[in-house]
Chain A
Amino acid sequence: MSNLLSGAKILLNCLAAENVDCIFGYPGGVTLPLYDAMYDDPVKHVLVRHEQNAAFAAQGYARATGKVGVCCATSGPGATNLVTGLVDAMMDSIPIVALTGQVSSKLMGSDAFQEADTFGITRSATKHNFLVKNIADLPQVIHEAFYIAASGRPGPVLVDVTKDAFQGQAHYTPVKEIHLPGYRVFSEGHGGQIRRAAQMMWEAERPYIYAGGGIIAANASAELKALAEALDVPVVCTLMGLGGLAAEHRNFVSMPGMHGSYAANMGMSHADLLIALGVRFDDRVTGRLSAFAPHAKVIHVDIDPAEVGKNRQADLPIVGNVKRVLPKLVAELEALAPTMKAKNTAARAAWWKQIRDWKEQHPLTAETSATEIKPQHLMAEIDRLSGGRAIVASDVGQHQMWAAQLIRFNEPRLWINSGGLGSMGFGLPAAIGAQFARPDKLVFAIVGDGGFQMSIPELATIVNHSLPIKIVVMNNGYLGMVRQWQELFYNNRLSEVALSSFPDVEKLAAAYGFKGRTVDSVQEMPSALRDAVNEPGPYLLNVKVAPFENVYPMVPAGGAINEMVLRPPQPVEV
C-alpha cells in the first residue's frame, strides 16, 4: 500500500535517478542486503576480482565518458582495498562514487568483524566522504555524493553505509534539491580579468598554450581548438591533457615535461606568455620550478582557486571553468583583433618558425631495429592501427611514457592513464571500465610485464563479459622505469627490478579461455598486433621488446626542463 522500501532498495533507486547503468564491485558480509536488492534490479553489476580494480574500472568508465563511475565494496578489507583507486582518482580529478558497507551502527567502534574506520581512512583520499547510519539520510547523501563528484573540480566521493541502514525500512521520497551551502563552484571567470588576458595574448610575441587535464574534465576540446586557432598559438598537452587538442591539429606541438619532447620543453622555456589552462604545474611538467618558463608571464585559468598560485605565481589568474571561460576569451580576442592582431605578426611568425625548427631538430620518432623489437616501434605500430581513434588505457612506467609520446590521440577521452598517483596495476582494469562505457570503441590495454602481473585476476572479468580488449604487454623483463633510474642515478646497481618467471601467455590466456601469443620477432610484430585487433574477442599479446631500452628525452629529477638528456649516453671510443 505504501512505498516502504529497504535502505538497499532506496539506494538503488537513487542510483537509477542518477542514471547509473553500471557498477563495478565485489560483495561481502555487510553489503549482503545491497546485493540481495540488486538481484532483481535492472542496474548492471560487474563483478571484478579485487576491489582495487573496481575503483580503477570505475575510473576507466569515468575517464572514457565524463560520467560518474561507480564502484562498490564491503566493509573492512573491501573498503581499504579501494583506497589506492580513490587516491588515484583524487590526484587526476576523476569523478567516481564509491559505495562501501559498514558494520551495523550498534557495532561500530567495537572492533567488530570486518570493521574499519573507512570514513577516517578515506578522508584524505576523497574530495568528500559520508557516513550514513540512518536510513532517512540515505537519499540526500547519495545525490549529494554524485553532485560533488561531478561538479567543480571533479573527484572521488565515498559513501559508507551501515548494514542497519541498508536493512531498515523507510518511505522513499525522491530528493528534490541539493543544498550544500559551503560548496562553491567558480565557473564563469572574472570578466575584467578575461579582457586583460585577451590583451596580454595579443601583446605577446611568443605565446604558448599549456593545456592539461582540466580541458578533458570540462569537455572543452572544441573551446581549446577555437582559442588555439583564434590566436594561432602553439599548444602542448600534458600527460593528463592528451587528446585535448587533436594530435593531428597543426597547432599541436606534443607533450611537455620529464619525458616530453624537445620542442615542447624548449617552447616552455622560451615563451614570453604561458597560457595555462586546466593545469596544476605538476613537478613532472615543470622540472625545477625556479627555472620553469623563466621568461614567461603566466595566465592561469583553473576551476580550483587553490591551484592558482600554488606552485607558480600567476601574473593573471582566472578562476573558472575552461569550458565557460575560453569562449569569452575568444570573443574578447576577436573584439581586439582589428586593432591588435597585426601588432606582432613578424615576431609570431619567427616564433612559429623556431618551434618548427625545434621539432625538426629532435622529432619524436620511433626507433626501429631489424633484429629486435624496440618498444618505440611497438607503440608506433599501435598508433598506426589506432589512427588516433582508439582508446588506449595504459599502466604506469616506461611503456606509459612511450605510448604518450608516440601514440596520437585525435579525440579527448581516448588516453586513459594514472597520471598523478602513478598506480601500477591501473591499465587493465581501467580498460575494462572504458570498454563497458564505450562498447563501440577499439580498446587497447598497454601494460608492462610488472603492472600486468598486478592485474592478472581481471582476465576473468574480461572473459566473463567477453570484452574485446586488446591487452598488449610490453615485456622487457624488468621494472623498466625503476631500472632506468638505477642505471642512470644509482651506478647501474640493478636492485630487485628483474622480473623473471613471467608466465607463458598463450597458456595463461588459454587457461582463462581466450587467445594469447608471445611475439619476439620484429618481422612478426606488426602482423601479430593486427591479428590481435582482428580477433573478435579479447586478446593477450606479449611482446618481447629490447630489454635495455630507456625513455628519452629525459629531464633528470630536479633539472630544468630545457636541460634534457636527449639520448642514452653513448660509449666513448678509447
Chain B
Amino acid sequence: MQQIVSLLVENKPGALMRVTGLFSQRGYNIESLTVARTLDPTLSRMTITVDVEQSVRGQVIKQMNKLINVLQAADVTDGPAVNRELVLVRIRMNQQTRTAVLKEAEIFGARVVDSTTEGFCLEATGDPEKLDEFIDVMRSYGEIEATRSGIVSVSLDNKKLRLSPPIPRGAAPEEALELQNAE
C-alpha cells in the first residue's frame, strides 16, 4: 500500500542520500519524493510516498527517525494532513478539439501556461487521484506528455517538534542522558 512520509531534515550535505539510501537498503520502494527548503533555510521538508506493506509502516518511520539529520519523521498517510500534487501536461491535438480541451481543463481547475497552434501546456494541482483522472481525460483528446511533481504534504496536526538539547562535551554518559531526558 501507499504510505506518505513527511520528514523534516537538516539541510546538510548528503542528507538526501541518507534518506533515499536507507529506503533502498531496507527494500522500501519510493514512488515519489519532493524536497525543498523550509522557512528556516537550514532545514528541508521532504515528502516521500513509498509502497510498503501495512505492517512495516511503523518500521519505516522508526528507521527514518534513526537518521541523525532527520529531526522529525511523521506518517501522514491517514491524516490529518493535506496532500497535493502538481502536474504539467503538454497536449497536442487537432484544431477542432481546442475548445473542448479548454472546457475540460476548466472543470479540473487547470491553467493554461503555454499555448501554441499545436496545443497547450496545462498546469493542474490537486490530490493525486484527481490528477490521474485529469491525465486520463486529456489523453482522450490527443497525444500528451505529463510531468508530475510527486506529493507534497502538510500535516494539520500540532505535533511538537522534539529536539535534543546541546550536551556539554565530555559529559559522562549518565549526565548526557539526564540532559537528553530533561524536559
Contacts and interface: CB of A to CB of B under 8 A. Distances in A.
Contacts of B166: 177-179
B170 A17 contact: yes
B53 to A, nearest CB: 13
Nearest to A19: B170
A355 B160 CA distance: 49
A306 B62 contact: yes
Interface string A1-45: 000000000000000011000000000000000000000000000
Contact of A178 (B14, B169, B181): B169
A205 B165 CA distance: 44
A185 B177 contact: yes
Contact of A131 (B13, B68, B168): B13
A184 interface: yes
A185 B68 CA distance: 11
A183 interface: yes
- Quick one: which of B58, B62, B162, B169 has the most chain A CB within 10 A? B169
A558 interface: no
A175 B65 contact: no
B59 A306 contact: yes
Interface in B58-106: 58-59, 62-63, 65-72
A148 interface: yes
A469 to B, nearest CB: 31
A182 B63 CA distance: 13
A184 B65 contact: yes
B140 interface: no
Contact of B177 (A119, A123, A124, A187): A187
A182 B10 CA distance: 8
A143 interface: yes
A309 interface: yes
B57 to A, nearest CB: 11
Interface residues of B, number: 34
A184 B62 contact: no
A155 to B, nearest CB: 10
Contacts of B22: 124
Contact of B25 (A124, A184, A310): A124
B167 to A, nearest CB: 5
Nearest to B13: A131
Contacts of B17: 120, 123
A567 interface: no
B21 interface: yes
B58 A304 contact: no
Contacts of A18: 170
Nearest to B177: A187
Interface in A165-220: 174-185, 187-188
B107 interface: no
Interface in A115-156: 119-120, 123-124, 128-129, 131, 143, 147-148, 150-151
Contacts of B18: 123
Contacts of A128: 68
A131 B181 CA distance: 29
B163 A182 contact: yes
Nearest to B25: A124
A455 B62 CA distance: 38
Interface in B141-183: 162-170, 173, 176-177, 180-181
Contacts of A129: 14
A181 B168 contact: no
Contacts of A151: 173, 176
A434 to B, nearest CB: 22
B42 to A, nearest CB: 10
Contact of A306 (B63, B170, B181): B63
A182 B14 contact: no
Nearest to B69: A182
A420 interface: no
A348 B181 CA distance: 38
Contacts of A150: 173
Nearest to B58: A309
Interface string A275-318: 00000000000000000000000000000111001100000000
16 contacts: A123-B14, A123-B17, A175-B169, A177-B167, A178-B167, A180-B68, A181-B10, A182-B69, A182-B71, A182-B164, A185-B177, A185-B180, A304-B66, A305-B66, A306-B63, A324-B177
Given A182-B10, A304-B66, 6 more contacts: A119-B14, A120-B14, A123-B17, A176-B169, A181-B163, A305-B66
